[in-house]
Structure 1
Amino acid sequence: MRLFQLPLTKIQGVGPQKAEELHALGILSVGHLIEYYPFRYEDYRIRDISEVKDGERITVQGTIASMPYLQRYGGKSRLISRVTVGSTLVTAVWFNRTFLKDQLTIGREITLTGKWDQRRRHLTVADSEFPDRGAAKTGTLQPVYSVGGSITQSTIRKLIERAMTQFGEHIPEILPEELLQRHALIPRREAIARIHHPENTREGQEARRRMVYEELFLFQLKLQAYRAMHMKQPDGIVHPVNNDEIRQFVGALPFELTNSQKQVINEILHDMKQPFAMNRLLQGDVGAGKTVVAAVSLYATIRAGHQGAIMVPTEILAEQHARSLGKLFEPYGIQVGLLTGSLTDRKRRDLIASLQMGLLDIVVGTHALIQEDVFFRSLGLVVMDEQHRFGVNQRSILRRKGMNPDVLTMTATPIPRTLAITVFGDMDVSTIRERPKGRKPIKTYSVKHGMMDRVLGFIRKEAEQGRQTFFICPLIEESEKLDVQNAIDLHVQLTQALPDMTIGLLHGRMSAAEKEATMALFAAGETTVLVSTTVIEVGVDVPNATLMIVMDADRFGLSQLHQLRGRVGRGEHQSYCILIADPKSENGQERMRAMTDTDDGFEISRRDLEIRGPGEFFGTKQSGMPEFRLANLLNDFEVLEQARDDAAELTASEPFWSSQQYAGLRDFLAREAKQHAEPLD
């Protein structure tokens, strides 16, 4: 019996209307209801009141010691009675429960659950039961589910209980016996029953451990099966890399590569030599030197007779990459083109024709690269910069512009290991951990809004030494909803406060030509201060800029602040980051502490994940970040790594693809492939 194909109306007491209400919660079948897990439990186990801390939620048993007293006020009511709990006389208070007044008789036993006020010996009662009538909740852990509409906690508990009674025996085991034994996991049917109704904490933990492992294992199985299938199909481009040519190219660079950069270049070139299409993630902190690694990889594909493409999220970054790569490759006769949405029709037609004829070796572009009429003569390598800004579909379209080209995705948002394994489990991951030689750590300070005069003094001090300043704020124009400084007003204010300096303005609503002109002036040192929105967050490189000021910094995420900070500190001079924040913003202050404590992007990432949670970490639902029902990537990382290793071992073995004992897992993969129409990108 396939429970996920069984309609909810098969459950006793569920008619069409109730089924519709459950559908609104994402519960579409009997299987969905059975696997609709609680997100916490209410503890109704009786405790010794002497061990309870102030403010805790507790359940105690006692005897009513006084007649109840009813108070009414403003249409509401408060019922007060004294209850003897052990040797303690407790004042119990019920709000809006007038019907209990006649039941609270002296000498009657009662079980109370509520919030304990230790100083006043006062219990605000949320729940109460009388043992002489049967106490259904007392001594139990009651599941708490996400509910809405007319579906209450009581309703969902009853429906799940009925579903388990009617169909529980049909819950299939998914995991093979070897994995159950290896990790001492309880059977699936027992685990699901215990998750809904654990007898005690240990039993609930065992049930959760089993189901968390299953959830993470099945997710990893999809990724690892895709990898295993991919490795069986040698349909990629083999790049005959000439090591001597690569060494000469690297030796001619105006700086020395770090050991970390050399290591990841070796990993990438090794992949490019193979007959399997490369799918590698290159991650590194801001300013770690990822672009030059991409340049070496592009040089290798061009020397092998192919073309390269770099896709970036903004026109400013595309223009910068096109300029820097053009300068780098010019001595080798390698032609670099720029394709963005702001090109004239004629220039765009000429560029596309050059690509198709092979006259252009490298094209740098934004989303314009994935338009239908863009074709390559022989696309050998695709580089996705700041890849989390692009959806899965966009990445797939660019890959299909060639015959299984190698793909190198890059991110300057260092990803905690658990997220790298989860989101990029189908990729190999290369990490640059060293900073380029000569880079000084950026000194970071958090200040209040009232310290603007000192901030302006800092700008003047840096300007006197010939240095430049970025001044970032969250919005372009004034918003009634958010009381934040905006770029246009700030530009006016700074122009008045610093009349002897040239103040530039950059924001997302400017045309590409205006942005390029503004950035060119700043890069040339003709603008002292650049007021900007976060359009400069990624990749913009001005070595003479030594001061980054972020207005309303508490409005930004940690990783975004770290990206902004990375726009300075790119030259030989000491650089600074000043975060102007609201001291009353609790989350904001937590972020400010993290920023002033460390400039390590991996540590920043870990703290950002703790503060925001995995779902918000990438800032986009298209990032590939899965939604887990039970697993928590912060706490369950060891289980995730074990599940990944198990899935990789299993899919690499021949019996997995042929033996009957794994037929259930192969069916699962087939259903997933059918549901998503194609394998994970």
Structure 2
Amino acid sequence: MNLQAGCYSASGLFLFSSQRFAEIMGINLNTEIQMLKGVGPGKAPALQELGVCNGADLLEYFPRDWEFLPETAQISELTANANVCVCGVIESTDYHKFKRKPIFEIYLIDKTGALRIIWFNGGYLANQLHPGMRLAAYGKVTKYKHQLQMTNPRFKILREDIPEQDPKQLGGAVYPATASMSSGMLKYIVRKNIDELSACVKEYFTESFREEKNLLPRKEAFRLIHLPQEESHLSAAKRTLKYEELFLMQLGLAVRRYRMRNFAPSIAMKFSSQLDRRIRKRFPFFLTEDQDKAIEEIVSDMSEPKPMNRLLQGDVGSGKTVVAVYAALMAIANKAQVGIMAPTEILSRQHYQSISRFLEGSRVRTELVTGKMPASERKQLTEQISKGEVDIVIGTTALIQGGIDFHNLGLAVIDEQHKFGVEQRAKLRKDKAPHCLVMTATPIPRTMTMTVFGDLDVSVIKTAPPGRGKVTTKLVSPENRKKAMEYIRGLVKAGRQAFFVYPRIESGESDRNLKSAEEEFELLKTCVYPEFSVELLHGQMPQEQKKNVMERFRKGEVNILVSTVVIEVGVDVPNATVMVIENANNFGLAQLHQLRGRIGRGASDSFCFLFSESDNETAIKRLEVMQKSTDGFYIAEKDLEIRGPGELFSTRQHGLPDLKLANIVEDFEMLRMAKKDAEETLKEDPFLQSQENQNIKKAIIKKFGARLGLTDIA
């Protein structure tokens, strides 16, 4: 045994460093949870339910809150106006419910005396506090009728199953808990193991880098986030571990982006002014300045032998499809095929119809692949695709669900990217390296373009094509509903068409206040607007029926379309200038904006009516944002601000590890710093081969793994 990693104490006992002790005892970050101190087979299942399966999981099971209690004092030492924590045993309890202000009273005793403690309107405590219980109460000591007492203090029940619980350590970390694993027990287990576990932590950054960025060593940061002695310690630990999370995320994205651009050569597309003129002749209008700029960026990318990875984000109705068609025709001119994937069959059919209109009379062959195609028809089409006889293939996830193998895929276009994860995007590309253009009509806050879409270059189309009418949004209160319905009647009589959107298909027991499309369809058709043609559309209808209803609405044969959010994306009917959204308070801002984007696509002015009976402050705030602005980028930032990043997107869905401490909104400046530092790290060491980057390399492989295709960088 190597004894050099220790020393002798004054009493002659040999003392090991915590690192050496961890090695000897066999406690490390990979130790199974039941083998850690204070756990055993009895408590292990409860911890495993929380996702804590080994030492590393316990170390990264961060507190949800921290309490910093006043110093503990004995009862005989108390003085008026002191802010203290008192620990003792409850001697008696009494509830004076007939006083003018009902009072719950206890007497707490320790070995030095007794203290009266009262809670006004504290009847609820009668079932919680009983004689014989050990209790810690903390707050301000006051004097009442020459007697010291505490009024309405906070308290903690000292649990008998944690025998070593020290009253002086009652504050500190508060952990997310369950019925079978309390926060107190978690804190006890963490305290028992923190020395050995933190000693096993590997450092990511050099000392000079930490000093420059004002970061703690990782060992110290983990200790202090679990056992902070004061708030300044906690602040420093949180800063270090938040930065670490954001840095690893940004480095993982940067590595993925570098590898995709440098390890898989793509077709370098040829481009000329003659090709540009030929493509533009296909469009019966001039392109906007934003469209031209996006095309210029895409042409530049596709002219390189490195695969393009570009996000094209544009507000609803801004003309992204035209840009995608331009990119597709450039690929086809270079003898390559194009795959276009959309999240729904309605949207993929919409793309097929609009692209077919642009390419009418050309030799470009465009085909639509759906999940419900007859097997024989699908087999024939997949064979033609594999032989290169089809130029543009449009479909849903049917494109990646086996059987389709492109002869020469040069461009992959993925619409509504936020509906697909990184893995689905990778499946479309398979082992090839086509240029990739992802599009979204959901404007993305800048924080999300740096995280969820951090591996992509970004093009933005803000301006709508010229000749579009103004869209006015009105929040309609219950008392003005009838007036709004009559106004809509006048618009439909004048030849306009209307959408009525509902949050669910059919009524249910769960929430009777939510209106359903099926019930309201019958009411609108028979009672409210019997003079008009009213039809129903929702996701559970047979595909052919949905297709038929949409086609009739597009042709103007249907005046009013009653629907669910199935029309959220891709429905393009210029004559539809009216939208009613019922129970609008039940929709998020981004979804409301998407729905509103179905109108205002023609030259006439449009009107969006938000019907809501809610008095919820947050819901009203969202609806007022909609009434104030039609700018999707402003709305996206407000949505992120109001709802927070956790509710808006799941990083795991997009192939990224969840953030345990960092918040991309609150910590945006740190996110920017982490992104810049990650890019500089990769610029200096593209393969993360230097000795000082070995621990970082192992960390991103562990955190990202196969989800970002980084398993082979080791």
Change (3 A) 1:578 1:123: farther
Following TM superposition, by how much is the alpha carbon of 1:245 offset from its aligned partner in structure 2, in angstroms?
1.2
Q: Deviations for 1:554-581, whole angstroms, at most 9, x for unmatched residues?
A: 2212111110000001111111111111
Q: Distance in 1 between matches of 2:104 and 2:568?
A: 58
2:14 matched residue in structure 1: none
Q: CA deviation at 1:382?
A: 0.8
After superposition, the Cα gap between the structure-2 partners of 1:177 and 1:242, relative to the gap in structure 1 and judged at 3 Å, is: farther
User: 1:16-71 CA deviation, whole Å, 9 max, x = no partner?
Assistant: 22222211111111122122211111242489xxxxxxxxxx9667999xx98712
Which residue does 1:192 correspond to in 2? Answer: 222
Pair 1:124-2:152 in alignment: yes
- 2:395 is matched with which residue? 365
Aligned to 1:649: 680
Count of aligned pairs: 649
Q: Could you tell me how far apart the structure 2 residues matched to 1:11 and 1:103 are?
A: 27
What is the alpha-carbon distance in structure 2 between the residues aligned to residue 178 and residue 436 of structure 1? 53
1:322 and 1:102 map into 2 onto residues whose CA distance is 72
Give the distance between the partners of 1:68 and 1:604, measured in 2 at CA. 58
Q: 1:532 is matched by which residue type in structure 2?
A: S
Instruction: Check the 8 A contact 1:21/1:149 in 2, yes or no.
Output: no
Instruction: Measure the CA separation in 1 of the matches of 2:221 and 2:571.
Output: 52
Does residue 464 of structure 1 match 2:493? yes
CA deviations 1:424-476 (Å, max 9, x no partner) are 11111222222222334421111234543223212212113221101111222
Counterpart selection for 1:356 from 361, 386, 399: 386
Which stretch shifts more, 586-595 or 548-557? Answer: 586-595
The equivalent of 2:3 in structure 1 is none
Any conservation in 1 of the 2:269–2:334 contact (CA below 8 Å)?
yes
- Asked if the contact 2:467/2:603 (under 8 Å) is kept, the reply is yes
Q: Which moved more, 1:663-672 or 1:490-499?
A: 663-672
Write the letter of the residue equivalent to 1:421. Answer: M
- Taking a change above 3 Å as real, the CA distance of residues 114 and 451 of structure 1, as seen in their structure-2 partners, is farther
Counterpart of 2:19? none
1:508 aligns with 2:539: yes
Q: Name the amino acid aligned to 1:370.
A: I
1:239 paired to 2:269: yes
SS of the residue corresponding to residue 644 of structure 1 reads: helix
Displacement of 1:593: 1.8
Following superposition, the deviation at residue 394 of structure 1 comes to 2.4
**Residue aligned with 1:639, SS:** helix
Q: Check whether the contact 1:114–1:124 (CA below 8 A) recurs between aligned residues.
A: no
SS for the counterpart of 2:152 is: strand
Q: CA deviation at 1:90?
A: 9.3
**Is the 8 Å Cα contact of residues 342 and 395 (structure 2) preserved in structure 1?**
yes
Partner of 1:33: 58
Map 1:234-313; keep pairs closer than 5 Å.
Answer: 234-250=264-280, 252-313=282-343
TM-superposed CA distance for 1:492, in Å, is 1.2
Give the deviation of 1:161 after TM superposition: 1.0
Q: Aligned letter for 1:657?
A: L
How far the C-alpha of 1:125 sits from its partner, in A, is: 3.2
Letter in 2 for 1:70: D
Cα drift, residue 584 of structure 1:
2.9
**What is residue 44 of structure 2 aligned with on the other side?**
19
Once the two structures are TM-superposed, the CA of residue 366 in structure 1 deviates from its matched residue by: 1.4
Q: 1:437 corresponds to which letter in structure 2? A: P
Query: Deviation digits for residues 391-412 of structure 1, max 9, x if unmatched?
Result: 3332222111x72111111111
Whether the 8 Å CA contact 1:318–1:364 is kept in 2: the answer is yes
Residues 115 and 348 of structure 1, relative CA distance in 2, 3 Å threshold? farther
Name the CA shift for 1:655/1:680 in 2 (closer, same or farther; >3 Å). closer
Structure 1 residue aligned with 2:176, among 146, 150, 155?
146
SS in structure 2 of the partner of residue 4 of structure 1: coil
Which residue in 2 is equivalent to 1:558?
A: 589
**How far off its partner does 1:299 sit?**
0.8
1:520 aligns with 2:514: no
Residue type of the partner of 1:539? G
* Residues 509, 62 of structure 1: alpha-carbon distance in 2 compared, 3 angstrom cutoff: closer
Partner of 2:247: 217
Q: Is the 8 A contact 2:348 2:394 kept in 1?
A: yes
Give the corresponding residue for 2:578. Answer: 547
What's 2:637 paired with? 606
Pick the aligned partner of 2:451 from 419, 422, 433.
422
Give the Cα–Cα distance (whole angstroms) in 2 for the partners of residues 553 and 187 of structure 1: 49
Instruction: Tell whether the 8 Å contact from 1:317 to 1:538 is kept in structure 2 after alignment.
Output: yes
AA aligned to 2:498 is T
Return the alpha-carbon distance in structure 1 between the equivalents of residues 273 and 119 of structure 2. 81
The 3-state SS of whatever aligns with 1:505 is strand
Give secondary structure in 2 for the equivalent of 1:297: helix
**TM-score, with length taken from structure 1:** 0.87
Cα RMSD over matched residues? 3.4
In the alignment, residue 555 of structure 1 is paired with which amino acid? Answer: N
CA contact (8 A) 1:82 1:92 kept: no
In the alignment, the residues of structure 2 paired with residue 515 and residue 103 of structure 1 have an alpha-carbon distance, to the nearest angstrom, of 66
Tell whether the 8 Å contact from 1:141 to 1:199 is kept in structure 2 after alignment: no
Alignment of 1:102-121 (within 5 A): 112-113=138-139
Q: Does 1:44 align with 2:69?
A: yes
Residue 350 of structure 2 corresponds to which residue in structure 1? 320
Inter-CA distance 676–16: structure 2 relative to 1 (3 Å threshold)? farther
Give the C-alpha shift of residue 272 in structure 1: 0.8
Counterpart-to-counterpart distance in 2, 1:98 and 1:431: 61
Distance 1:9 1:504, change over 3 A: closer
More displaced 10-residue stretch of structure 1: 203-212 or 249-258: 249-258
Q: What TM-score results when the alignment is normalised by the length of structure 2?
A: 0.84
Find the residue that maps to 2:414 and give its secondary structure: strand
- Report the counterpart of residue 112 of structure 2 in structure 1: none
Secondary structure, counterpart of 1:641 in structure 2: helix
Distance 1:60 1:333, change over 3 A: same
| 1:151-210 residue CA offsets vs partner (Å, 9 max, x unmatched) | 212211111111113333332212233431221211111111111122322221111011
Over 3 Å counting, the alpha-carbon distance change for 1:502 and 1:619 in structure 2 is farther
| Alpha-carbon distance between aligned partners in 2 of 1:586 and 1:643, rounded to the nearest angstrom | 35
Secondary structure class of the residue paired with 2:451: helix
AA aligned opposite 1:29: N
Q: Among 480, 485, 489, which residue is 2:515 paired with?
A: 485
What is aligned with 1:71?
Answer: 95
Code of the residue aligned with 1:668 in structure 2: it is A
- Report the AA paired with residue 605 of structure 2: Q
How big is the shift at 1:211? 0.6
The one-letter code of the counterpart of 2:66 is Y
1:408 is matched with 437
Q: 1:122 to 1:221 in 2, by over 3 A?
A: same
Alignment-mate amino acid for residue 125 of structure 1:
P
Q: After alignment, is 409-418 or 365-374 more displaced?
A: 365-374
Whole-angstrom distance in 1 between the partners of 2:686 and 2:530: 76
Cα deviation per residue 1:356-394 (whole Å; 9 max; x = unaligned)? 232321111112212322222211111111122223332
The answer (yes or no) to whether the contact 1:441–1:599 under 8 Å persists in 2 is no
**What is the distance in 1 between the residues matched to 2:367 and 2:133?**
85
1:174 matches 2:210: no
**What's 1:54 paired with?**
none
Partner in structure 1 of residue 12 of structure 2: none
Alpha carbons of 1:173 and 1:680: their partners in 2 closer, same or farther (altered >3 Å)? closer
- Aligned residue identity for 1:467: R
Amino acid across the alignment from 1:18:
K
* Contact 1:650 1:656 (C-alpha < 8 Å) held by counterparts: no
C-alpha deviation, 1:4, in angstroms:
2.8
- Secondary structure at the residue paired with 1:280? strand
- Cα distance in 1 for partners of 2:629, 2:529 equals 31
CA 103–207 in structure 1, closer or farther in 2 if over 3 Å, else same: closer
Q: Offset of 1:531 from its aligned partner?
A: 0.6
**Are the counterparts in 2 of residues 45 and 140 from structure 1 also a CA contact under 8 Å?**
no
Residues 1:514 and 1:184: Cα distance change in structure 2 (over 3 Å): same
Kept in 1, the 8 Å contact 2:302–2:308? The answer is: yes
Contact 1:310 1:384 in 2 (8 A): yes
Q: 1:489-525, CA deviations, whole angstroms, 9 ceiling, x for partnerless residues? A: 2111111221211112111122222112111111111
- The structure 2 residue matched to 1:384, chosen from 410, 414, 430, is 414
SS of corresponding position for 1:652: helix
The percent identity for this pair of structures is 36
- Counterparts of 2:304 and 2:64, CA distance in 1: 46
